[in-house]
Amino acid sequence: MAGTLRLGGRTFAPGELVVMAIVNRTPDSFFDRGATFASDSALRAVERAVTEGAEIIDIGGVKAGPGDEVDVAEEIRRTVDTIAAVRTAFPDVVISIDTWRAEVAVEAVAAGADLLNDTWSGADPALARVAAATGAGLVCSHAGGLAPRTRPHRAAFDDVVADVVATVTGLAERAVALGVRPDGILIDPAHDFGKNTRQSLEITRRLAELTDTGWPLLVALSNKDFIGETLDLPVPDRLEGTLAATAVSAWLGARVFRAHQVRQTRRVLDMIASIRGDRPPTLTRRGLA
């Protein structure tokens, strides 16, 4: 298992399972359909997520899939003031900015972001340089060679897991060479990004090959299409499938879990940690009286 992870003012030990709550400042998110687009709604969502056990808040201003154009200025407008407000209200929480753009990252870190969550696999090579210059953490992901906000078409790999491992470790090594802190780097196979459902399932099944790289592993499974297609369920009905994939991923060594439903995810992770022996039970009365 990878070593200590340091993000902002927080230190996460190797056995610690961490929830990254999703807060989208977008009007067209596939899951919440704009429920946290308004700034006051976003801050209420952050408060709820922290109360329910999130240690990281991931704030994004651009829908991952195709949709209306969002330029740099608009992405900054949607995210930076919210980051500043969260930093003030929750000084100890780790704040992540979900962006692939270096210009956005610069403003986000200045406002209080601790982590650059690049889900598009280094599409902007300057993003890693921002992490190096500012001391922010960095997520290195696999998008199957796709440009940002594009969907896969006939995704094909000789070995999808080998491709993921080569890509994310290559990005992590490049980041270190540029001066990014090694203890602030995570890798992410990016389920669904540039992949079909069978490929995302294979990645989940073979996740230990990613944890074996030694880099802390983030998984973003929450309500994704590979879960919906596997179970033939619409977005609102994918919680059980998400939690099943979460439990498997935790058992296989993932450490950070990007999630819409924080309370349920936190409970699953606490149970896995207790089964694994990393967390004592909250109560132990049964059979002791």
Q: Which two tokens stand for residue 75?
A: 């992405």
User: What local confidence, expressed as pLDDT, does residue 41 receive?
Assistant: 93
What single letter denotes the amino acid at residue 211?
T
User: What local confidence, expressed as pLDDT, does residue 32 receive?
Assistant: 81
Give the CA angle between residues 121, 75, 136 to the nearest 5°: 55
Residue 68: how many other CB atoms lie within 10 Å = 10
- Which of the following is catalytic: 25, 238, 258, 266? 258
Q: From first to last of the 289 residues of the chain, give the pLDDT tens digit.
A: 479 999 999 999 999 999 999 999 998 888 887 788 888 999 999 999 999 999 999 999 999 999 999 999 999 999 999 999 999 999 999 999 999 999 999 999 999 999 999 999 999 999 999 999 999 999 999 999 999 999 999 999 999 999 999 999 999 999 999 999 999 999 999 999 999 999 999 999 999 999 999 999 999 999 999 999 999 999 999 999 999 999 999 999 999 999 999 999 999 999 999 999 999 999 999 998 7
180: Cβ–Cβ under 8 A, 6 or more apart, which residues? 128, 131, 132, 137, 138
Q: Are 276 and 251 in contact (CB under 8 A)?
A: yes
- Which of the following is catalytic: 78, 224, 238, 255? 224
Q: Which two tokens stand for residue 88?
A: 């003030």
pTM of the complete model:
0.96
Helix locations, the chain, DSSP H: 39-52, 72-89, 102-111, 126-134, 160-178, 197-205, 208-211, 225-231, 239-251, 262-276
pLDDT by residue (tens digit) across 193-232?
A: 999 999 999 999 999 999 999 999 999 999 999 999 999 9
d(C-alpha 143, C-alpha 120), whole Å: 6
User: What local confidence, expressed as pLDDT, does residue 250 receive?
Assistant: 98
Domains of the chain in sequence order: 5-276 (3.20.20.20)
What stretch of H or E contains 97?
strand 94-98
User: What local confidence, expressed as pLDDT, does residue 37 receive?
Assistant: 82
User: What local confidence, expressed as pLDDT, does residue 39 receive?
Assistant: 87
Q: Is 224 a catalytic residue?
A: yes
